Structure 1
Amino acid sequence: MLIGAIEAGGTKFVCSVLDEFNETKDRCVIRTRGPEETLAEAADFFRKHPIDALGVGAFGPIDLNDRSETYGTIKNTPKTAWKDFPLRDELKRMLGVPVAVDTDVNAACLGEFRFGAGRDVDSAVYITVGTGVGAGFVKEDQVFKGLTHPEMGHIKVSRMVDDSFEGVCLYHGDCLEGLVSGPAIEKRAGISGADISVDDPVWASVAHYIAQALVNYTLVLCPERIIIGGGVMKQSHLYPMIRKEFQRILNDYITIEDLESYITPPKLDDDQGVIGAAGLAKDITGS
């Protein structure tokens, strides 16, 4: 069996063909442009391989209600060329195979839950902190979806007393994404996050807001593990800062024995989105 997988991001589409053991047989990276041009290139890649199904973890918002007439359609995205684009239907038409679609963070969460940092627990939250902030939740091998998919990156957090930064979110200003995403950090500091020294005070604010969000997720969802990835978290000094601030804010209301295990980096070397997308495809084939 060969499975197709796409991690469909705002800047690039990572397209992979995997076997039933998650071994990559072929792979390409496509620059994200308009939907017609981007999908035509992706389809050309997959037509070289006899894939049995395709799984896609895509940027959103996206309609994930499989009873909806617009199931698999990208909705009110700031990427205007993709707004109301029927992603699932178009890929199914172009390739002639079953197509499963979920959000990029849900797919990444599923990948880490099954094969990475969450494989020894029954529930996990996966958060990506990068160009944007998003999160998914998996419990007992099922990705959580409700009225829509979770938008945990857009929760409001309490502002630090001396923080006047207005935030960068186009919709909410100073929501979590507006305060800790890569663009937010760069706007605060005036330089790229990769060039900011580890002792710069900007990291204390980033750690505080992320920790505050993790406390909220813990109190609402009670996951057994929280996995944090994304470009911002390449700054590995953030993990101990977040754990310390998380513990301070939680104030022993819930006992968590091992914070290093509870709040942890991903283990799939940035392949969690592709592996999770492949898992979505396998699920619809029953394999």
Structure 2
Amino acid sequence: MSKFGGIDAGGTSWRCAVFEDKDSILARTSFPTTTPAETLARAIAFFNDHKDKGLAVSRIGIACFGPLAVNPASPRWGHILATTKPHWSGTDVAGQMAAGTGCPIALETDVTAAAFAERAWGAGQGLDDVAYVTVGTGIGAGIILGGRAVWGTMHPEAGHMRAPRHPEDLAFAGVCPFHGDCIEGLASAPALLARWGMDASQLPDDHPAWDIEAHYLAHLAANLVLTTAVKRVIFGGGVMARGGLVERVSAKAKALIGPYGTAAPGEGGFEIVGAGLGLDSGLLGALWLAEQAQS
């Protein structure tokens, strides 16, 4: 049976695995995202070490943080573009992994790969039109319409859209180095830390942070539904592990749209749900990429 490699290449950490299939992980590791040279060297060493142990992979799927050049026709395919992550702009992730391991590479953004995994095995099963949103170190959205990933001049960067400010959050400048108070700048994990002086996991359930957080994420979800007509928006990432946050976002997004269009009675509506694959959406998305490229 063919074995596949998967990398969930996040802005905070990388997770690497050797798979037979989604239910059979033969080896895995994780490590912090540091410099490009150090991080890529650790990923290459993982696959080469396991090749020597009889666990050679036929292809490696990479679900990578971005912005990322994802169009195979681009001479910069597989490169990270101008990013908020220090030192990573211009890094040729796909090329260096291919050269270091000798394996063909399949690559997509982490959120688009996660969207495909959720559609195949998680909360998006049975749907051709879904969006997956991650809320963690950054905020991003992978969009699938008609069963195909959406990208044109670049892949979607929905986390950098604007939203009306919450009335109790007018003074916070935001943390995005490109846009200041875009949704990522206001609702990502670094934004929560900068605004409140503590990590999201330390904020109590009744803290006003969560109403503000739900406000911005609801605007993001409502905009995705109104602009792409997806039937389901799936939220994942570390911040979304907070109990009740998905439900808050759903209620606010539906209130924002009201009885218009897809939300009208009898029109089928839309759903906002949590990730069915939990924190493994990205890693399983990398597997999905490798399997699809192989076939």
TM-score range, shorter chain: over 0.9
The 1-side partners of 2:276 and 2:252 are apart by 23
Query: Gapped runs of 5+ residues in structure 1?
Result: none
CA distance in 2, matches of 1:174, 1:53: 39
Shift of 1:260: 11
2:288 pairs with 242, 255, 279, which one?
Answer: 279
**1:21 to partner: Cα distance:** 4.6
* Structure-2 residue corresponding to 1:57: 63
Q: 2:275 aligns with which of 266, 272, 276?
A: 266
Counterparts of 1:213 and 1:267 in 2: how far apart (Å)? 20
1:223 aligns with 2:246: no
- Overall identity of the aligned pairs, in %: 36
Amino acid at match of 1:124: V
Deviations 1:123-144, CA, capped at 9 Å, x for gaps:
1100011121111012343222
TM-score, normalised with respect to structure 1:
0.94
Name the structure 1 match of 2:211: 204
- Contact kept, 8 Å, 2:11 with 2:137, in 1: the verdict is no
Q: Is the 8 A contact 1:167 1:178 kept in 2?
A: yes
Q: Which SS does the other structure have where 1:271 is aligned? A: helix
Q: Which residue of 1 aligns with 2:84?
A: 78
Q: For residues 197 and 31 of structure 1, do their structure 2 counterparts lie closer, same or farther at Cα, with a shift above 3 Å needed?
A: closer
Q: Partners in 1 of 2:65 and 2:133 — Cα distance? A: 14
Deviation of the 1:162 alpha carbon: 4.3
1:154 counterpart (144, 149, 160): 160
Match of 2:42 in 1: 41
Corresponding residue of 1:136:
142
After superposition, the CA RMSD in angstroms is 1.9
Change (3 A) 1:96 1:22: farther
Letter in 2 for 1:76: A
Residue type of the partner of 1:85?
T
Show CA shifts across 1:162-196 (max 9, x none). 43221111111110011111121222222222222
| Uncovered stretches (5+) of structure 2, i.e. residues with no partner | none
How far is 1:255 from its partner?
4.2
- Structure 1: distance between partners of 2:4 and 2:169: 47
Conserved? CA contact 1:243–1:260, under 8 Å:
no
In the alignment, the residues of structure 2 paired with residue 44 and residue 262 of structure 1 have an alpha-carbon distance, to the nearest angstrom, of: 42
Q: TM-score, normalised by structure 2?
A: 0.91
1:187 correspondence with 2:194 = yes
Which of 225, 235, 243 is the equivalent residue of 2:250? 243
Verify the 8 A CA contact 1:243 1:259 in the aligned structure 2: no
Q: CA deviation at 1:252?
A: 1.0
1:20 CA drift (Å): 3.5
Structure 1 moving runs of 4+ over 4 Å: 257-261
